[in-house]
Structure 1
Amino acid sequence: MLPFYKCFINCVCMNSLYIMYFWLGFCLTAPSIIIQYTFVNSFHLGVVELAEIAGVISVAWALKPFIGWFVDFLSNFISPRFQVSFSYCLSGFALSCINLCPRLWYFVLCLFFSSLFLAFADVVQDSILVRSLRNTSIDKRGSVQSFAWFCRSFGSILGCLLSALFSFHRNRFAIVASIHLGGVCCALNIRIHKNTYREKQLKIREIFCDKEVLLFSLLLFFFAYEPGDSSIFEYQLLKHYKVQPAVLAAAQIIAFGMIMVASALFQRYLRQYNAVGLVTVTSTVCLGVFVARNLFLTKRIDVPVNVFFIGNVAINTFFGHLSFLPLAVISTTLCKPGVEATMYAYFMALTNFSSIISRELSGILASGIGIKKQLQVSNEKYDWFYGICIVLDIIGIIVVFLLLVSLPIRTKEKREIELTEFDHELDEEDFNTIAEDKNDSDLVDIDLN
């Protein structure tokens, strides 16, 4: 075997979980633009229908706590790498079956199952990540999670390019389904230390009946519950402004590029900053961007549609991701040994569940105000819709601020094990030390004040 080929194989094995986050982003966004145009142009859906169907498909990600519990149970019998590989296989298979029936319900059903199996893969990958981060410093956790998001966003950029390139191709869903084979093969290279799963079993009451967990759960709900304008904005872009696939792809690529920039900035400079201030300031900026969309749709500001669309996406994604990263780091510190998949999936699913509520509220609110399939909507209707959303946004920001301030979490850790790669090896003596030090393995505390 040639030396450079050996180096390549070793690099793949050492960073296999990072590569799997790349494939996750790739597979999640590869069908995105294709689906948007199919819903609007082939099925002729309106604003309310788009919001409702988006909520239905997203239900798969709200099931992550149950998936996490199943993963923790299944990991006693089946290696996580096989779980991830099989999940990518089933997700691709669901997409490959999408053209067998031209009905809308069948189309949505295939998308739901594809999303469900990707959610399963995401839960397993997150559980491996959380286990790898145990007994490391808060600073190191932020660094590793930021780089995982960086890899996922890079994959998402390539997925957007693929989706735009094959938006109107006859075999577009078969092409998207085939890329899942990369995830199937790469997942088999994930290496997990045999001692990773030697943990005590906890009861459900011990897991969730905890002050920090309950307060943080409430925080995550209010972080993303408020209704948004994504369905309205998307519909107007596609039907009224006739935005082309290339522009949508460019916007999504820039969005994921902003996630990469935000992740790198957080990793390099912001991970040691006070989480309360960082989350509050960035959320307030996102609210300002939301107000700007109202000014654009009501024609109170005159900006070329492509410039506004791309600029709005870039700013909103950058600050939105910065507001989420501190919460992602906090969630890993609250995951208890032996139930990492269940708890981390539970925290992330709360955010997803709030997003589903947000989409459904958006559809109900738009329908109640009278914003449906019109290409021309009166400014009064837009103002009513955005006004209610802004009030709920402000309530959410205030509640999140108060909960972050009141979370009884401390900053200091008694010990730190440095993490250099996901499949790192620890000596038997290190594992014995970890097993003996119960206080350090049960819960890692951080300080938000």
Structure 2
Amino acid sequence: MILRPMAWFFLAHVSFPNLSTVMFYYQTEFLNLEASFLGTARVVGWLGLMLGTFVYNQYLKKMKLRRILMWSQLGLAFLTLLDIVLVFRVNLTFGISDRIMVLCGSALSDAINQFKFMPFLILSGQLCPPGIEGTLFALFMSINNLGSMLGSFVGAGLASVLSISSGSFGNLLLGIVIQVLCIFIPIAFLFLIPKEATGISA
């Protein structure tokens, strides 16, 4: 009962090659965005987290968790496609600056990730046997953090295979396309999430 949903959240991290470090170098070296501006983008991202929490509590907590997680994955796929727009420089064709793209992408991606994390916390409470709440919550968070760390390793491995590094962004577009494809992998395993689970009752 506990292993299946936790396996899904672990898979959602591990199957996604995290290229955030490469994108940081691309944004600072190729797009010439200041590191201070990217720090501001992270602040906007935190505002996105709060927005995601508000939207979830107001409108989504009665929705089936499987549906929320599916739409979250699709939303992340869409936002990753925005990175392709940024790399292709299509945004400039429509008069949208790189700064706006980065700010909006940061806020929206953090908001959508909150849509995934809230069900994670809810399932932790729903599945926890009485008396071991602290231990089980620590286990769930450890699994989540381990998956995130391994996702970063997978991303580093992908960047290495594609020879993407600081000053070498020739295959960055291919790396982002692989990212988009990998986002759909966890959707095929949503059967691991309890079918009737919502934000109110399991």
Residues paired across the two proteins, number: 197
- What secondary structure does 1:223 align onto? helix
Report whether the alignment pairs 1:309 with 2:102.
Answer: yes
- Flag the 1:278–1:384 CA change in 2: closer, same or farther, 3 A: same
Aligned-pair distance for 1:311?
0.9
**Equivalent in the alignment of 1:265:** 55
Aligned-pair distance for 1:294?
2.1
Match of residue 79, structure 2, among 275, 282, 289: 289
- Of all paired residues, the percent bearing the same amino acid is 17
**Equivalent in the alignment of 2:181:** 391
In the alignment, residue 220 of structure 1 is paired with which amino acid?
A: F
Q: Which has the larger radius of gyration?
A: 1
Aligned-pair distance for 1:300?
4.0
- What secondary structure does 1:250 align onto? helix
**Equivalent in the alignment of 1:15:** none
**1:107-139 deviations in whole A, cap 9, x for unaligned?**
xxxxxxxxxxxxxxxxxxxxxxxxxxxxxxxxx
Gaps of 5+ in 1: 1-211, 412-444
| TM-score between both structures, scaled by the size of structure 1 | 0.41
Aligned-pair distance for 1:408?
6.7
Distance in structure 2 (CA, Å) of the matches to 1:248 and 1:387: 23
Aligned-pair distance for 1:249?
3.1
Aligned-pair distance for 1:392?
1.8
In the alignment, residue 357 of structure 1 is paired with which amino acid?
A: L
**1:295-325 deviations in whole A, cap 9, x for unaligned?**
2123344242211110111111112211221
| TM-score between both structures, scaled by the size of structure 2 | 0.87
Match of residue 254, structure 1, among 44, 52, 74: 44
| Cα contact 2:64–2:196 (8 A) shared by 1 | no
Q: How does 1:162-311 map to 2 (within 5 A)?
A: 212-225=1-14, 226-302=16-92, 303-311=96-104
Q: How does 1:33-432 map to 2 (within 5 A)?
A: 212-225=1-14, 226-302=16-92, 303-374=96-167, 377-378=169-170, 381-399=171-189, 401-404=190-193, 407=194
Distance in structure 2 (CA, Å) of the matches to 1:274 and 1:264: 17
In the alignment, residue 366 of structure 1 is paired with which amino acid?
A: A
- What secondary structure does 2:184 align onto? helix
Aligned-pair distance for 1:326?
1.5
Distance in structure 1 (CA, Å) of the matches to 2:113 and 2:101: 17
| Cα contact 2:45–2:107 (8 A) shared by 1 | yes
Distance in structure 2 (CA, Å) of the matches to 1:266 and 1:254: 18
- Flag the 1:243–1:392 CA change in 2: closer, same or farther, 3 A: same
Distance in structure 2 (CA, Å) of the matches to 1:241 and 1:360: 25
In the alignment, residue 169 of structure 2 is paired with which amino acid?
A: V
Pick 1 or 2: higher relative contact order, CA cutoff 8 A, min separation 6: 2
| Cα contact 1:280–1:323 (8 A) shared by 2 | no
Report whether the alignment pairs 1:446 with 2:201.
Answer: yes
Distance in structure 2 (CA, Å) of the matches to 1:301 and 1:312: 13
| Cα contact 2:77–2:183 (8 A) shared by 1 | yes
In the alignment, residue 280 of structure 1 is paired with which amino acid?
A: M
| Cα contact 1:298–1:382 (8 A) shared by 2 | no
Distance in structure 2 (CA, Å) of the matches to 1:397 and 1:305: 31
**1:259-300 deviations in whole A, cap 9, x for unaligned?**
112212222232122211111112201111012102212334
Distance in structure 1 (CA, Å) of the matches to 2:109 and 2:191: 23
Aligned-CA RMSD value: 2.1
Distance in structure 2 (CA, Å) of the matches to 1:300 and 1:222: 32
- Flag the 1:410–1:262 CA change in 2: closer, same or farther, 3 A: closer
In the alignment, residue 306 of structure 1 is paired with which amino acid?
A: R
| Cα contact 2:49–2:114 (8 A) shared by 1 | yes
Aligned-pair distance for 1:409?
6.6
Aligned-pair distance for 1:236?
1.4
